[in-house]
Amino acid sequence: MAANVLRRHTGVPGLVVHYYLTSVLGVGLLVIPVLAWTTAGPLSLLAWGILIVYSYPFALVFAKLSTLHPTSKGVAQFVEVAFGRRAGRVAALYLLMTLLLANPVLGLIAGRYLLAALAPGASNRASLAIGAVVILGCIALNLLGVKVSGRVQLAVLAVVTGVLCAIIVLALPQGSPAQLHPVAPHRWGVLGDCLLICFFDFIGWENAAPIAEEVRDPGRTFPRGILCAVCVVGVLYFAMALTVALTLPSDQNTVEGLTGFTRLLRTATGADHTTVGYLVASVLLVLTTNAWCLGTSRVVFALAREGIIPRGLSRISPRTGTPSRAVLALVPGYSLTLGLLAATDSNESVLIKASSVAYLLVFLLSFLSAIRLVRTGPMRWTNYLVTAVTALMLPFMGISIGYAAVMFAAAVLVEWWLATRERTRLCAAITHPPSPELPTAAPHHHHPEHDRRER
């Protein structure tokens, strides 16, 4: 096998479990429903409905693009084919920055739940430290290869999802419909903020695109996988959001919202199982963190293979078939975000809105590419629909869109520097071509008879 070519070994079950469900379920079931409820009250259910309906064509576009261009570059490849090499490089750099910004959120919340179970009342910086350990553990698990981490994901996901479904079934009948009135207690204008918070739950559908190079028969596997995953995720999301709306008060602060799942567990069981709730939540969030680390490592691998970042990161381990150097590169990549949070003593909630806006721009680039790449059939109208809806969401993002603009400007500047360096090297090669090597004189062999004649 070539040194930087990945093996195709993932089928429909692996795609659904390892790349779709675990990419979107964790924080979506445990954290975002409570934060959305605290922000908008009953109006949050409208935001959930809008985004759940939007998620199927949204994910379908990524499935179609991954089928047409099955490569670990993911979104960057779609943009490059549609708009050219330089646009693709800008998209690749911006996507990498977005991933490094957003991915730590999940590991940090997992660490917060875990520390709350083991040492209640610990400081925010202690939670950040435990979250960093969780992230390092997921990076280590990804070094073992997709098959090993996939088996772990499947076993644990089945158990934890079963527990969450049981909690929903037990808590929902104890809810009060009176909590759904008034519909907009914090005014209708907060719908935009609520959409922004809930949108973070739908980050992850694109996570399957970078592993398209490892999927068997992408033309069949992706459409089947996305249909199954969207149905499961949509039902679970809305069921959890409705349960939260009917049973929990909406006057929680940010930190309480991050760990509000334990209050729901108390409502469901009638007893204080706080420690169990924290542990269940942390396990599910670790699964999601693991899936996001895998997707990001494949983007690093693809960018290294293209020479956008150091090529040495594209080397694949012959033993596990994993781009181990790309996986290890996540350690310094995530360190900047973790360091800034620790230095300012901020919690991970500040990253949720910034990440949502950054990803929204990634998705818009993908959908604009799809319009150029898929010009016939029903998918053409699906592309128009998701592009229009995504563009209409931008005005609701407020000041948070400034973060995305700064990151995009940074990606443009880095690409400009890369292009300038390439032109300089090309001009130098043309102006000062390497000197041709002079032929080496053949050694002179002395023959006695010939020498006598010459004399």
Q: For 49-106, how does the pLDDT look when each residue is reduced to its tens digit (9 = 90+)?
A: 888 888 778 777 877 787 777 666 778 888 999 999 899 999 989 989 988 888 888 8
Identify the pLDDT of residue 53. Answer: 84
Which residue in this structure is represented by tokens 């670790």? 286
Return the structure tokens found at 264: 């729901």
The SS3 call for residue 10 is: strand
- Give the C-alpha separation, 193 to 186, whole Å: 11
Best-predicted range by mean pLDDT (43-47, 167-171, 343-347, 397-401): 43-47
Q: Which residues contact 157 (CB under 8 A, 6 or more apart)?
A: 17, 21, 22, 25, 284, 287
Identify the pLDDT of residue 293. Answer: 84
Report how far apart, in Å, the C-alpha atoms of 341 and of each of 135, 282, 299, 347 are. 15, 20, 24, 7
Mean local confidence (pLDDT), 396-415: 85
Identify the pLDDT of residue 391. Answer: 86
Q: Contact 292/106 with Cβ under 8 angstroms?
A: yes
Return the structure tokens found at 361: 């721009």
- Give the C-alpha separation, 335 to 323, whole Å: 20
pLDDT confidence tier of residue 212, bands split at 50, 70 and 90: low
Which residue in this structure is represented by tokens 């985004």? 51
pLDDT confidence tier of residue 408, bands split at 50, 70 and 90: very high
Mean local confidence (pLDDT), 19-48: 76
Tell me how crowded residue 156 is: count the other CB atoms within 10 A of its CB.
16
* Least confident interval from 11-15, 234-238, 359-363: 11-15
- Give the C-alpha separation, 64 to 225, whole Å: 12
| pLDDT: which is higher, 288 or 250 | 288
pLDDT surpassing 50 at residue 1: no
Return the structure tokens found at 192: 């935009």
pLDDT confidence tier of residue 322, bands split at 50, 70 and 90: confident
Which residue in this structure is represented by tokens 């596997």? 221
Q: Contact 337/104 with Cβ under 8 angstroms?
A: yes
pLDDT surpassing 70 at residue 376: yes
The SS3 call for residue 215 is: strand
Q: Over the stretch 273-297, which tens digit does the pLDDT of each residue have?
A: 777 777 877 877 787 788 788 878 8
Identify the pLDDT of residue 348. Answer: 78
Residue 326's closest CA among 338, 315, 340?
A: 315
Return the structure tokens found at 362: 């990634």
Identify the pLDDT of residue 41. Answer: 86
Residue 112's closest CA among 99, 129, 89?
A: 129
Identify the pLDDT of residue 205. Answer: 65
pLDDT surpassing 90 at residue 416: yes
Identify the pLDDT of residue 215. Answer: 64
pTM of the complete model beyond 0.75 = no
The SS3 call for residue 309 is: coil
pLDDT confidence tier of residue 251, bands split at 50, 70 and 90: low
Identify the pLDDT of residue 133. Answer: 92
Tell me how crowded residue 274 is: count the other CB atoms within 10 A of its CB.
17
Q: Which residues contact 106 (CB under 8 A, 6 or more apart)?
A: 26, 27, 285, 288, 289, 292
Percent of the chain at pLDDT > 90 equals 8
Identify the pLDDT of residue 453. Answer: 46
Return the structure tokens found at 237: 């999301």
pLDDT confidence tier of residue 413, bands split at 50, 70 and 90: very high
- Give the C-alpha separation, 283 to 122, whole Å: 19
Return the structure tokens found at 185: 């207690």
Identify the pLDDT of residue 410. Answer: 93
- Give the C-alpha separation, 69 to 431, whole Å: 38
Identify the pLDDT of residue 87. Answer: 92
Query: For all residues of the chain together, what is the average pLDDT?
Result: 78
Q: Contact 316/322 with Cβ under 8 angstroms?
A: yes
Which residue in this structure is represented by tokens 């090669």? 429
Identify the pLDDT of residue 83. Answer: 92
Q: What sign has the CA pseudo-torsion 295, 299, 300, 304?
A: positive
- Give the C-alpha separation, 455 to 436, whole Å: 38
Identify the pLDDT of residue 250. Answer: 65
Q: What sign has the CA pseudo-torsion 28, 379, 191, 398?
A: positive
